[in-house]
Structures are given as C-alpha cells and as structure tokens.
Amino acid sequence: MRKRRKKFKVLKKILLVLVIAVLALTGYSVYRTKQQVDSVKRWEQMVKDAAEKNGISAYEDVVLAIILTETKGDHLDVMQSSESKYGVRNQITTSAESIESGVAYLAKVIQEAENQGCDVWTAVQAYNFGINYIQYIAENGQTNTVELAESYSRDILSPMLGNTTKETYFHRHPLTLIHNGGQLYKNGGNFLYADTVKLNMKIMSFFSAFQ
C-alpha cells in the first residue's frame, strides 16, 4: 500500500511539472506572438497609404498578415519584396520601399487573379510563387487549394529552378508539420503560404480584439 501511495505521489509530481511546463511554454508563445503582432502594427499607416494608392484598401488586413508571415515586421525589407521588384534579394534599401513595392505587386497579382476568374487566395499564393501561378490555377478550377499549390511547387516551380529530384527540406511551422511532417520542396516556395497568411490574419484579429 505504501509503495502504491509513493508511486502515486511521484506520478502526481511528474504530471504537475509537465502541466507547469506546458503552461509556461504556452504563455511564452503567446507573449512572443503578441510582440510580433505589435511589431507588424507599426507599419499600419504605411500599409494603409500604399493600399489606398494601389486600389486595394479592402486588403489591408491581408498585407499586414503577409508582413507577419514574411518577417514578423522586424526586418528592413518587411514584405520581402526585393525579388518581385529587382529579381534578386537584398536590394530594398528602406522599409517604406519594401511596403510600396510589396503592396504594388500584391495589387498586380490580385488584378491578374480577377482577370482570370480566380479567387483572391490564388493571388496571395502567387505573392510567394510568382504571377505565373495564376494561369496554372485558372486552368485547374480557378480556386487555390493546398493540393494544387503543392503540385505546382513540386512539378513546375522547383524543377524550373533546378530541383529536378523533388528534394525537400525541413520547414518548422505548425501548418507544414501537420500537413506532411514539415517538408517543403527545395526552390519550390511555400505551398502553404496562402493558408499561413489566413492563419496570421486570424492571429492579428485575435490580438486586436483585446486592444
């Protein structure tokens, strides 16, 4: 009887430690995410101005979620728009230029998606893949899906950029981990990009509700 009680006490202590550890990790994760959201919100006015200038004021929340997805708001090139503007990385010189260029490119892919009868999430995924993705979706149902994005990444984009063996790499993100254990195709962009932006829109909305 004493051994059972002792064993029960030990298990109870272990369970308590695990619960405390989970709560601590959860609390830290929430704190870090809140910091990141606050960092993104620093760019709200600049995003508002650029979105209005490019005729996509209705998509300001999408732009902010893209910033959260790309850099958490803490990088000079906050929208990672150097490649879409210059064709190469690290050419953007100011965050203002990054937002102006990124919003202009997003407006361009949204307009192209509308022209081809595709949904806006096709345009958001094209922000990561490039504008040619829109034609692919237009020919395959006109609605972005993870399955279509993955096939485009695997069969078209990554081979075009040199990955002819379907080589993958580990991507540590909850959506990727849930989808396939965390694997993306080398040189194939992020086929879960649109879904990540959707998730980040919800995260930003959640924290905004408490302000």
Q: What digits encode the pLDDT tens for the residues 28-46?
A: 677 788 899 999 999 999 9
Q: Structural domain tally of the chain?
A: 1
Query: Please, which pLDDT band fits residue 6 given cuts at 50, 70 and 90?
Result: low
Q: Is the pLDDT of residue 80 over 70?
A: yes
pLDDT above 70: percentage of residues in the chain: 89
* 153 contacts 191 by C-beta, under 8 angstroms: yes
Q: Is the pLDDT of residue 10 over 70?
A: no
Mean pLDDT of 68-89: 93
The boundaries of the domain holding residue 19 are 2-208
pLDDT digits (tens, 9 = 90+) for 84-134: 889 888 899 999 999 999 999 999 999 999 999 999 999 999 999 999 999
* CATH number of the domain that residue 95 is part of: 1.10.530.10
Q: At what angle do helices 120-129 and 193-208 cross, to 10 degrees?
A: 110
Quote the pTM value.
Answer: 0.88
Give the Cα separation of 201 and 149 in Å (integer). Answer: 20
